[in-house]
Amino acid sequence: MRKRIVALCGFVMVFLVPVAAQPPAAQAVPTVTAIRAGRLLDPEGGRVLTNQVLLVEGNKFREIGSNVAIPPNAQVIDLSTMTVLPGLVDAHNHLALTYKPEPESNIYYFTYLMDSTALRAIQAASNGIQMLAAGFTIVRDMGNNGNYADTALRQAIEQGWIPGPTIINSGIIIGGMGGQFFPTPEMAKEHNIVYPEYLDADTPDEIVKAVRQNVLFGARVIKICVDCKPYGYTADEIRLFIREAAKVGMKVEGHVQTVNGAKNAIEAGIWSIAHSGGLNDEMHKLMAQKRIWRAGTDTPEGLAGHPVSPQAYQRTVASLKNAYDNKVPLTFSTDADYFVAGKTRGELCLEFLKTWKDAKIPNADILRALTLGGFMVSETEKTRGPIKAGYFADLIAVPGNPLDDVDALKNVQFVMKDGQVFKKDGIMTPAAFFHAGPVNGWRIR
């Protein structure tokens, strides 16, 4: 069997990769677009430059400045009344999971039973579009996505079937037996009754195998449950995950909910930590020293249908403020995996700005977490995210100035992704993103 797989891979490598390496037909004759930006926000400097021209050629920025000549054949987009800024990043979302009051009483254990991976992949496509419309051009999709619906979404967007953010996906979350759930013996022992979406990895061999399974099935980052069970991972076990993932250039994010779990993850040198439950002042100081990313998933109070107790919210705000004061590397992250009536998935995520404002974090630093922090945790910072010549042309525009009022981000009027206009004058115009074939080249996962 293994030989047959190797033979098949050989076939794929020899015959399909050269085809995929052809430049996409759509970019054979690059069009030039000139964007007039009334204000251009530079998150790194925390400042706004006025009256800038951005030239976009094909899918990349060509030139940016106040004295850039607009070529006569260029298509001109006038954003002279707006603030243009890089696209936003949600460093922790679950695009193929939307648990609902009906039929699963908001218990996502049951979503797995009620909704097929196929249905959830379509949900992911819709959620991805909703995220992009709200200004999120990169989303880290961190598991609980059925049987690799997250990989399917990433491929569909990369190949040019549908619009969506750049997806950094984790595949199936790896944990000690049971993962985050408590399956019955009938479900858990032989996995011969439906088994919720975690990969069991309890021994070194199983850890290596689980990482390789996710790599094989298209993950771009590895997500582990550090301490979902009393038999959570030791620092040595986490190091094994990190070593195995590093072989293919991937990083490891840990779901952490206890101080002891945080201690082990930090000691092992994990890339990022999700959730704030295990992060106290001491852990934040260690994370700052070791430059470990914090994806705190800082849920605000007041989301309709998703009550957070005042005590829990105060803990969330205090933890985020403590992390900021300790100079922990921060990302904006939501853990969005549910449905709030009247809001798109992207609008829901922007509600999380409340927590950052209540933690008294300056707008310039909220914007840094939403952009630079997100690009770095996603490892796109040298190719995608910053508005710089030679980078992929992703940008958004809002009326007002988010440095003065960060809630201006809730009114994204314009979105460009890969040099194509996705939203203009507040209305999605995504026709350029839909294709009946893989126009950006077919790729193995």
Q: Considering the complex, what minimum distance in angstroms separates the CB of residue 296 from Zn ion?
A: 11
Site for Zn ion in 323-362 (CB under 5 A): 335
Three-state SS for 192-205 is CCCCCCEEECCCHH
Q: Considering the complex, what minimum distance in angstroms separates the CB of residue 170 from Zn ion?
A: 10
Q: Considering the complex, what minimum distance in angstroms separates the CB of residue 337 from Zn ion?
A: 6
Among residues 67, 73, 4, which one has the least CA distance to residue 36? Answer: 67
Judged by CB, which is closer to Zn ion: 227, or 335?
335
Judged by CB, which is closer to Zn ion: 85, or 224?
224
Judged by CB, which is closer to Zn ion: 244, or 335?
335
Question: Amino acid identity, residue 75?
Answer: Q
Judged by CB, which is closer to Zn ion: 57, or 90?
90
How far is Cα 265 from Cα 262, in angstroms, rounded to an integer? 5
Question: Strand pairing of 32-42 and 75-85?
Answer: parallel
How far is Cα 320 from Cα 313, in angstroms, rounded to an integer? 11
Tokens in use for 72? 């006569």
Judged by CB, which is closer to Zn ion: 32, or 124?
124
Q: Considering the complex, what minimum distance in angstroms separates the CB of residue 421 from Zn ion?
A: 32
Q: Considering the complex, what minimum distance in angstroms separates the CB of residue 371 from Zn ion?
A: 21
Q: Considering the complex, what minimum distance in angstroms separates the CB of residue 159 from Zn ion?
A: 26
Q: Considering the complex, what minimum distance in angstroms separates the CB of residue 425 from Zn ion?
A: 34
Q: Considering the complex, what minimum distance in angstroms separates the CB of residue 346 from Zn ion?
A: 17
Among residues 235, 233, 230, 114, which one has the least CA distance to residue 175? Answer: 233
Judged by CB, which is closer to Zn ion: 163, or 165?
165
Judged by CB, which is closer to Zn ion: 197, or 335?
335
Name the one residue in this structure whose structure tokens are 């040099």: 419
**Residue 378, CA atoms < 13 Å, CB-side half-sphere:** 34
Torsion angle of alpha carbons 35, 40, 45, 47, nearest 10°? 170
Tokens in use for 26? 């759509």
**Three-class SS state of 319:** helix
Find out whether 423 and 77 touch, Cβ atoms under 8 Å. Answer: no
Residue 57, interface with Zn ion (CB under 5 A)? no
Position closest to Zn ion via CB: 335
Q: Considering the complex, what minimum distance in angstroms separates the CB of residue 412 from Zn ion?
A: 24
Torsion angle of alpha carbons 208, 209, 215, 217, nearest 10°? -170
Q: Considering the complex, what minimum distance in angstroms separates the CB of residue 176 from Zn ion?
A: 17
Judged by CB, which is closer to Zn ion: 166, or 297?
297
CB neighbours (10 Å) of residue 269?
14
How far is Cα 190 from Cα 193, in angstroms, rounded to an integer? 8
Judged by CB, which is closer to Zn ion: 144, or 420?
144
Question: Amino acid identity, residue 128?
Answer: G
How far is Cα 322 from Cα 287, in angstroms, rounded to an integer? 12
Judged by CB, which is closer to Zn ion: 176, or 402?
176
Judged by CB, which is closer to Zn ion: 298, or 335?
335
Number of residues located near Zn ion, criterion CB under 5 A: 1
Encoded one letter per residue, x for contact with Zn ion by CB under 5 A and - for no contact, window 285-324 reads ----------------------------------------
Q: Considering the complex, what minimum distance in angstroms separates the CB of residue 143 from Zn ion?
A: 7
- Residue 414: which residues within 8 A CB-CB, separation 6 or more? 77, 79, 82, 84, 395, 396, 397, 421, 423, 424, 425
How far is Cα 262 from Cα 285, in angstroms, rounded to an integer? 12
Helices (H) and strands (E) in the chain, counts: 14, 17
First and final C-alpha spacing in the chain:
21
How far is Cα 375 from Cα 381, in angstroms, rounded to an integer? 5
Q: Which residues bind Zn ion (CB under 5 A)?
A: 335
